[in-house]
Amino acid sequence: MAAKDDSNKIRNVGPKSAAWLRQVGVRTQEDLLRLGPVEAFMKVKRAGFRPSLNLLYSLAGAIENCHWADLPDERKAALVQAAASDETVNPIKTRWQKQVERSERGDPAKPVQHEQDAEPATGGFLDDPDAGHETPAED
């Protein structure tokens, strides 16, 4: 069995956070270095995930080659401030907020069709194939 290659693994990041990061294109330590901890963290948030500040600290710790808990409080405060500034400049909107904005602009939104409103399907697996068909009257 081949050994697992951990050379590109991002330090301090567990499996759930690693999956989030992969989904936003941060797969290696080099990707993280290119983006920086705040931008990588904000990409995860903008993708709809709900990371805690521990992810932000973990990403900074990975870049600084230390455990996230060893970051000085001043560094953590600066990271939080940078993330808050980024969110102020480019707010993260929920699906609900985006829908309200589309409605206010008059953009046509895709109507949500619920199962009870849907047209009944015909020809289901267990349906009688002759149901609803008139048979000729025999004399």
28-72 residue pLDDT tens: 999 999 999 999 999 999 998 999 999 999 999 999 999 999 999
Q: Hey, how many other C-beta atoms are within 10 angstroms of the C-beta on 136?
A: 5
Query: Do 41 and 83 contact (CB within 8 A), yes or no?
Result: yes
Residue 62 maps to a domain: yes
What are the tokens at 98? 């985006």
> In percent, how much of the chain has pLDDT > 90?
54
Q: What is the pTM of this model?
A: 0.66
User: Which domain covers residue 85, as residue numbers?
Assistant: 15-96
Say yes or no to pLDDT of 80 above 90: yes
Name the strand (E) or helix (H) holding 21: helix 15-23
- CA dist 75 and 26 (Å) reads 22
pLDDT score for 83: 95
Q: What's the number of domains the chain is made of? A: 1
> In percent, how much of the chain has pLDDT > 70?
71
Closest CA to 6 of 70, 54, 62: 62
The CATH number assigned to the domain holding 25 equals 1.10.150.20
pLDDT grade for 21, boundaries at 50, 70 and 90 = very high
Query: Do 30 and 81 contact (CB within 8 A), yes or no?
Result: no
Residue 92 maps to a domain: yes
Residue 10 maps to a domain: no
